[in-house]
Amino acid sequence: MYSDSKDINRTTNIEIDLILEGIFNKYGYDFRNYSKAHVKRRLLNRLTTSKLNSISELQHKVLHEPGFFEIILRDLSINVTEMFRDPSFYLALRNEVIPILKTYPFFKVWHAGCSTGEEVYSFAVVLKEEGIYDRAQIYATDFNHDVLDIAKKGIFPIDRIKEYTYNYQASGGKQSFSDYYMANYDSVIYDQSLKKNLVFAEHNLVTDSVFAEVNLIICRNVLIYFNKDLQNRVIDLFHDSLINGGFLGLGSKETLQFTTKANSFEIINNEEKVYKKKIIKK
């Protein structure tokens, strides 16, 4: 049969739709509205490392071979993160959001797509330094239970400490970063006091509903993997989860612009994409 590269590409796209449908039906994880380019790149990469010839062969493995789905889940959920990642984001929170949180006797924070927890522990440090950690209830969620297990332990490799110390200082850190951890052989254990008000839980932004009513949501480097429809769904979910006047921090790589809720938020910091939910008058 005649087939050129365009035809092969089309067939691959059909196979990708089928494997995503199969994963959803069998495992309940819905990647059908993730960015096509991202999913394709990750699956083709897995095809090569598994020495398979087609996505259909991959589909057979994922549906029939115990444990293989977990590998695909890891492939599709990029878990890269770091302490005080993009330090200027934390500086923006310190300057523009923390002063408002300080006026509340009690407030809730939701880190959505928290991966192995570095972002959560970083913000816990900020809250502590600003003297409001004890007033906070912090929820941190991800749909991947393996990364949550790591996050709960609060242990990180020691070889990243130099980079994290630099990030901490650039983020407006007021003390010495070493005040917040204890080195133990080749790893670092975060101070127990940072964990006190943290709750790590499984939550899928695609299939689960409102998580809690919160004052601040931080969700960075997650929406980039979603298509427009899914981005709209998740922003709607965030809008419903925020109190009136609550804050949403997306970080410099994502934006509310072009989403259906763009007019329901005011911009607090345009560089770091920090927004405030407009007060809805009843």
Ligand X SMILES: C[S@@+](CC[C@H](N)C(=O)[O-])C[C@H]1O[C@@H](n2cnc3c(N)ncnc32)[C@H](O)[C@@H]1O
Which residues are at the interface with ligand X (CB under 6 A)? 77-81, 85, 113-115, 119, 142-144, 147, 204-206, 220-222
Would you say 142 or 272 has its CB closer to ligand X?
142
Please answer whether residues 135 and 104 qualify as being in contact, where contact means their C-beta atoms are separated by less than 8 angstroms: yes
Query: Whole-number minimum distance, CB 89 to ligand X, in Å?
Result: 9
Distance of CA 13 to the CA centre of its chain: 27
Would you say 222 or 256 has its CB closer to ligand X?
222
Would you say 114 or 268 has its CB closer to ligand X?
114
In the DSSP assignment, the letter for residue 65 is: S
In the DSSP assignment, the letter for residue 222 is: S
Please answer whether residues 202 and 153 qualify as being in contact, where contact means their C-beta atoms are separated by less than 8 angstroms: no
Report the DSSP pairing between strands 107-112 and 155-157.
unpaired
Query: Whole-number minimum distance, CB 98 to ligand X, in Å?
Result: 19
- Distance, in Å, from the CA atom of 108 to the CA atom of 212, rounded to the nearest integer, reads 9
Please answer whether residues 106 and 135 qualify as being in contact, where contact means their C-beta atoms are separated by less than 8 angstroms: yes
Would you say 83 or 98 has its CB closer to ligand X?
83
CB atoms within 10 A of CB 3: 9
Helices (H), 65-215: 68-76, 87-96, 98-101, 118-129, 145-153, 161-170
Would you say 84 or 177 has its CB closer to ligand X?
84
- Distance, in Å, from the CA atom of 44 to the CA atom of 40, rounded to the nearest integer, reads 6
Would you say 30 or 60 has its CB closer to ligand X?
30
Distance of CA 187 to the CA centre of its chain: 23
Tokens of 184: 């133990």
Query: Whole-number minimum distance, CB 235 to ligand X, in Å?
Result: 13
Which H or E element spans position 249? strand 242-249
Query: Whole-number minimum distance, CB 220 to ligand X, in Å?
Result: 4
Query: Whole-number minimum distance, CB 268 to ligand X, in Å?
Result: 19
Would you say 115 or 167 has its CB closer to ligand X?
115
Query: Whole-number minimum distance, CB 32 to ligand X, in Å?
Result: 11
Query: Whole-number minimum distance, CB 113 to ligand X, in Å?
Result: 3
